[in-house]
Amino acid sequence: MSEDKTVRAYSYADVIMLTAAYAQVENAITYKDRIQQDRPKWDLAFYNALKTRIDDAIKTYIGRDNAKTLRDATSEVVHH
């Protein structure tokens, strides 16, 4: 019996990719006014929903939110 494997389009660990995505969303929030000039629907609600999807993916696929401390620290560095 063959076992199906998930094929990733990246070589890093899932938690690292999701943490990077979260950091990108945090940066986008910082520049949302500029981004909205080209993407009017990308408002704060859009970004908050995206952050929720990333959090849910971490909890669902990684099992628990081990990356929260890392994301919080990354956010702290990015915003200071």
Instruction: Examine residue 8 and state whether it is found in any structural domain, yes or no.
Output: no
**Is the torsion defined by CA of 68, 69, 70, 73 positive or negative?**
positive
pLDDT the model gives residue 57: 87
Residue 4 lies in a domain: no
Answer with the residue of higher pLDDT: 1 or 24. 24
The predicted pLDDT at position 19 comes to 85
Encode pLDDT of 21-67 as tens digits.
Answer: 999 999 999 999 999 999 999 999 999 999 999 988 888 877 766 56
Please give the Cα distance from 39 to 44 (Å, whole number): 12
- 44's CB contacts (< 8 A; 6+ apart) are 29, 32
pTM of the model: 0.69
Find the largest Cα–Cα distance for the chain.
53
Say if 52 falls within a structural domain. Answer: yes
Total domains, the chain = 1
Query: Which is higher by pLDDT, 74 or 65?
Result: 74
